[in-house]
Amino acid sequence: MRQITKLDTYSILIVYVHHRLGFCLDLLELRKKEKRGKVIEDDPRYWDLLSSALSVGWLDIVVKMLRLHGSYQLDQLSNRELENGLVETVATLISKMPRLRPESGGKLGECYKSKPDFIKCWEKWRSQITKLDCSPFWIQCDNQQTVEGLRILLQILLGNTDSLCMATCYWIELYISHFLYIRPFTMGIESMYNLAQKCIQLKPQSNTHRLTGLMVGILEENTEVVLAECSREFGPWLVAHAIELLTAGSEQAEVLLHEERYNLGGISIVELHRLVYAQILSSHALTWQIAPIYLTSCMKQGMGLLENLLYRQSVQHNNVLLKNIEICRLYELDHISSNIMKIAGVYHWKHGHKGAGVFWLQQAQDSSCLDRIAQQLFDSVGQSISDESFKQWEGMIELLGSESKPAGGLEFLHKYRDFKKSLQKASGGKSTEIARQAVGSLMLLMKNPSTPQRFWLPLLYDSLKLINWKDCPLLGVSETNLLLNKLQDLSLAKLRPNYTEPSLPPDALSSIRLALATNLGRAILDE
């Protein structure tokens, strides 16, 4: 329990802030009285405040308050010389109090890094206080109230238990005063618990503060008591984080907290409290992204709960989705990330966000969904694949991309897009080279098995201008025969019940046959 000192310090600040606030208000009132010319040491609260501050080690405040004493006033120096000397001597002894710490940090007290030097100085300092306490000057001083107040301060410095008990208001203040004036050489937490119990008996509280049980449990080194107090009074956050404090330097606590327990489903106490806190974080929209930190540290059940948490997050909000994917990347949960992107892709596609749907499916590398989307595109283009029906899908086809090796309809749509672009360039009828490129695109479509039969006739009808090219035949004999064979296969396909007739002019088939026959003759003559 290396962090006890820090935790105790925080507890003291919280528990006794109201008492010290009243202390400061009394100080301000005394300062106002002193400014109005009244004798400050005649007020009983002056000495009470001095004793209270000194008992908890507030040396700076005590010295400053002592020097507000009336004997320091210029018109009193000659009349109250002995009284002033006693006050100054006590103030000097307080300011020279030995402290076992590296540096003063601007505070009063002489600091020593090594214990031998500290012990030597401490004994010398105590002997000076004892010598002053036995001095005959106390009898010669006329101001009895000052004498009594200063001697009480000396008894506090000497570690008089009765004086410390009278000066302190709460058991924790009495507890601290023991380490300042009675047990300054204490190292570690040995017998601290017994001392705490003694202080609680001497300074019982009418209303026990919720930090008291926790602090006593820490001093007792009772891990179970500390966990119970944290859980009862402070909730899951402190329980989840107190584990690190409890196991630091304690093998017994380490075993107790990390031991797998059958009654907890095979998990340890550490994992149980982390899971509880993670579940609380998971239930709020502003804290769910913190929960993975705790869930990933729970090896038994944490990863399953983390997977459920990530799947529960909404995919319709882009920021949440990106955060979800980033968490998967941080914890190397690639399979979960891929599934989340698939869910996002399907969601956006179904809700009309076609581009976003395709993007997330591509990120997930979901070829089956992309193929189904390609088939939908393929079916939506229409039987005639006219410019008007194709134009609305061209951007989507571009987004789907050809480098991902899509199957079936998508591959055909990409090739048809290239064919359309070449056909538009050749529509002017001026460049034979451009027309040959368009014919090349046509032949790629007709040879490719991914091109459905029901599109053969529309493709040839759109290419009539190329087949009837005036300058020279663009199709060779073998290419023309291939297209004629395609027409023959199409005639047989019409006999099938599932054949779909393309929406073309009635003379489309005869026009295509005539154009191919004419081109065949020209190609034979040309060759």
Question: What DSSP string describes 321-374?
Answer: HHHHHHHHHHTT-HHHHHHHHHHHHHHHHHTT-HHHHHHHHHHHT-HHHHHHHH
Whether residue 379 lies inside any domain: the answer is yes
Whether residue 227 lies inside any domain: the answer is no
Whether residue 445 lies inside any domain: the answer is yes
Whether residue 501 lies inside any domain: the answer is yes
Neighbouring residues of 302: CB distance < 8 A, sequence distance ≥ 6: 271, 274, 275, 278, 294, 295, 296
pLDDT in tens, 20-74: 445 554 555 655 555 545 567 777 788 888 999 899 888 988 998 888 887 877 7
**Taking 90 as the threshold, does the pLDDT of residue 446 lie above it?**
no
Whether residue 202 lies inside any domain: the answer is no
Q: Which helix (H) or strand (E) holds 214?
A: helix 210-220
Q: How far is CA 54 from the centre of its chain?
A: 44
* pLDDT at residue 337 in the model: 92
Q: Single out the residue in 170, 197, 220 at which a domain terminates.
A: 170
Cβ pair 270, 262 in contact under 8 A:
no
Exposure of 45 in the CB half-sphere (CA atoms within 13 A): 12
**Taking 50 as the threshold, does the pLDDT of residue 495 lie above it?**
yes
Whether residue 483 lies inside any domain: the answer is yes
pLDDT in tens, 172-228: 889 889 988 988 877 666 678 788 888 888 888 766 667 777 777 777 777 777 777
Look at phi and psi of residue 407 and say left if phi exceeds 0, alpha if psi is from -120 to 50, else beta. beta
**Confidence band for 398, pLDDT divided at 50, 70 and 90:** low
Whether residue 283 lies inside any domain: the answer is no
Q: How far is CA 409 from the centre of its chain?
A: 45
Distance CA 289, CA 402 (A): 37
Q: Single out the residue in 136, 170, 204 at which a domain terminates.
A: 170
Q: What angle do CA 374, 380, 381 make, to 5 degrees?
A: 95
Distance CA 175, CA 190 (A): 14
Assign 279 to helix, strand or coil: helix
**Terminal CA-to-CA distance of the chain, rounded, Å?**
98
Q: Work out the widest C-alpha separation in the chain, in whole angstroms.
A: 145
Cβ pair 406, 426 in contact under 8 A:
no
**Mean pLDDT across the stretch 266-271?**
76
Distance CA 442, CA 466 (A): 10
Tokens representing residue 507 in the block: 């003379």
Q: Single out the residue in 170, 205, 236 at which a domain terminates.
A: 170
**Taking 90 as the threshold, does the pLDDT of residue 108 lie above it?**
no
Cβ pair 137, 146 in contact under 8 A:
no
Whether residue 76 lies inside any domain: the answer is yes
The count of residues in the chain is 527
Burial of 188 (0-12, 13-18, 19+ CB in 10 A): exposed
Q: How many domains does the chain have?
A: 2
pLDDT in tens, 14-30: 344 334 445 554 555 65
Containing structural domain, residue 23:
17-170
